[in-house]
Amino acid sequence: MSTPIFEARPVHTSCSLSRKSNPVKQMQPERQLLVLNEYLDATLREIRESPHLRKVLDPLRLDKEPIRFQNGHIHDVRIGGLLSLHRQGNVSLLANEGILLAELAVTNLSVSFQYQYTLVSQLKFEGRFDGSLEKLSATLHIRLAEHTSQLLLFEVVDVGRCRVHKFTGASRALNWAIRRALQFTINSNRDRIRRKVESVLRPVIEDELRKVSLEKIIANILH
């Protein structure tokens, strides 16, 4: 089983990868940490600065199918703020594998959707819900290589609870009940949000890794 090497500890490895395929393993720990942190940060910057990805991710739309609950449904669910995804803490390196491990996070994601709610057959409401998700966190594993690194794992491990900020479409008398039902519905579907974010971001990160040169980052830091 591989042993994680963190921050300032030296990397001793019997890895079968060549020095050329894993160019950071012979570095001093302090420089290795600088290089790997910057490598991941540069990849995330590429995502944030891409006009195409801004359209896809800001906001991210969930599936077109409505999410149904007992008295109605919600639809056109949009998650905003994913472009603020950032590295949480320092990366680490698996000594025997040449694999970068990292945690990513973003807080206060926006969430909005349209809703329809039927109290009785002749009493129907529809409107808009605006709120926020407390947080989203993810785990990332990358096999390092000089030219093109490989994404081994991207997993969204946690989506925080939803809070309401603005709510329209209901009378004052029924505002509280409908609001509570809608908040319960979106919180009950956080796993659906998690899967959607994961499925969209995984190929995005994989593609951006091909554009960021680890070799160039090493050269910039060492010279």
pLDDT of residue 8: 31
Q: pLDDT tens across 58-92, in order?
A: 999 998 889 999 889 999 999 999 999 999 999 99
pLDDT of residue 2: 43
Q: pLDDT tens across 146-190, in order?
A: 667 899 999 999 999 999 898 888 777 778 888 889 999 999 999
pLDDT of residue 12: 33
Q: What's the rounded mean pLDDT across residues 85-101?
A: 90
Q: pLDDT tens across 112-133, in order?
A: 999 999 887 778 899 999 999 9
For the chain, give the percent of residues with pLDDT over 90.
58
Three-state DSSP state, 137: strand
**For residues 59 and 77, is the Cβ–Cβ distance under 8 A?**
no
| Type of residue at 36 | L
- Which residue bears the tokens 């300032």? 8
pLDDT of residue 22: 65
Q: Binning pLDDT at 50, 70 and 90, where does residue 6 land? A: very low
Backbone angles phi, psi at 34, to 5 degrees: -60, -45
**For residues 130 and 166, is the Cβ–Cβ distance under 8 A?**
yes
Rg (CA), the chain: 22
- Does residue 9 surpass a pLDDT of 70? no
- Which residue bears the tokens 């989506």? 159
**For residues 16 and 106, is the Cβ–Cβ distance under 8 A?**
no
Q: Where are the beta strands (DSSP E) in 15-168?
A: 60-61, 67-69, 72-80, 86-87, 92-94, 99-120, 123-143, 150-159, 162-167
HSE, CB side, 13 Å, CA atoms: give it for residue 67.
24
Whether a cis peptide bond, with omega within 30° of 0, leads into 10 is: no
Kindly give, in sequence order, each residue whose CB lies less than 8 Å from that of residue 178, ignoring residues fewer than 6 positions away: 115, 117, 125, 167, 169, 170
Name all domains of the chain by residue range, CATH numbers in brackets.
19-222 (3.15.10.50)
pTM of the prediction?
0.81
Cα pseudo-dihedral 50, 88, 195, 113, rounded to 10? -70
Whether a cis peptide bond, with omega within 30° of 0, leads into 23 is: no
